[in-house]
Amino acid sequence: MIKDIEPNIPDNATIIDMGCGKSYLTFATYHYLNTIKNKNVKIEGYDLKKDVVDNCNKLSKEFGFKNLTFYNEDIQKIDKNKKIDMIISLHACDIATDYAIYFGVKLGCKVILSVPCCQHELFNQIKNDTLSSMLGHGILKERFSSLLTDTLKADTLKLCGYKTNVVEFIETEHTPKNIMIKAIKNKNFTRNEKNIEEFENLIKSFNINPTIYKLLKDYF
Ligand SMILES: C[S@@+](CC[C@H](N)C(=O)[O-])C[C@H]1O[C@@H](n2cnc3c(N)ncnc32)[C@H](O)[C@@H]1O
């Protein structure tokens, strides 16, 4: 997947992994872009878990990855004026994904890769008379809320000027949370009122007030 979008990543880019966890894929991305492709990128990983961050910094040092550093910090506190070219957010929990996307858009990132996870927010809000039968079953409501969450994130990125693709991240036998949103900044983007209206109608029809919309509606 990184290979596909690699031409959109400039040399010397700064990449942030938001909610990086153990960072297996962050290490792989660093290796691919720097050791194989010689792009001289800098990657920073942010996570709330101190032990995980400490271990990642230890490994980075062992590998001699000078431009791969991890920080024990909430992604909501990242410097809003930082220059960032690309954001990765894989399985960041619930609305942490929204903040990752928000930063990506606000900072004008060229590439945003996001795999939403634990999509609880809408589960607690969603109401729709036509679908009340389906929403009356917990498991169906959960799955539908996840799909609607992913749809709104992908649509928000589109309305904010990104070419957006929703793809399977990995086979479902590994994890059911396998939808990746790939967003590349669209240089020829023009605002489209009809698309905005459709998006806002979708929100109204499910009686929801999603964080992604609250964070990014001013960027439509
Ligand atoms: C399910 S793990 C995924 C880890 C890794 N990205 C991966 O794909 O293997 C989600 C991670 O997001 C981190 N996280 C959640 N909310 C966060 C926030 N607001 N700021 C920083 N990290 C956060 C959690 O501590 C956790 O390590």
Q: Give pLDDT, residue 160.
A: 97
Q: Which residues of the chain have pLDDT under 50?
A: none
Q: Which one of 93, 118, 120, 177 would you pick to mutate in the ligand 1 pocket, going by the greatest count of ligand atoms within 8 A of its CB? A: 93
Instruction: Give the residue among 202, 160, 210, 204 at the shortest CA–CA distance from 181.
Output: 160
- How far apart are the CA of 197 and the centre of ligand 1, in A? 33
pLDDT attached to residue 82? 86
92: CA distance to ligand 1 center in Å? 4
Q: In what order do the strands lie in the sheet with 42-47?
A: 68-72, 42-47, 14-18, 86-93, 111-117, 179-185, 162-168
CA of 35 relative to ligand 1 center, distance in Å: 26
In this prediction the pTM is 0.92
Contact 45, 75 (CB under 8 A): no
Return d(Cα 166, Cα 66) in angstroms, integer. Answer: 33
CA of 46 to the centre of ligand 1 (A): 8
CA angle 182, 44, 105 (to 5 degrees): 40
Ligand 1 atom at shortest distance from the alpha carbon of 20: 6
Q: CA 72 to CA 74: how far, in whole Å?
A: 7
Taking each helix axis from N to C terminus, what angle separates 96-106 and 138-159, rounded to the nearest 10 degrees? 10
Ligand 1 lining (C-beta closer than 6 Å): 19-22, 46-49, 74-76, 90-93, 96, 117
Query: From atom 14 of ligand 1, which residue's Cα is the shortest distance away?
Result: 19
CATH code that applies to domain 2-219: 3.40.50.150
174 Cβ partners below 8 Å, 6+ apart? none
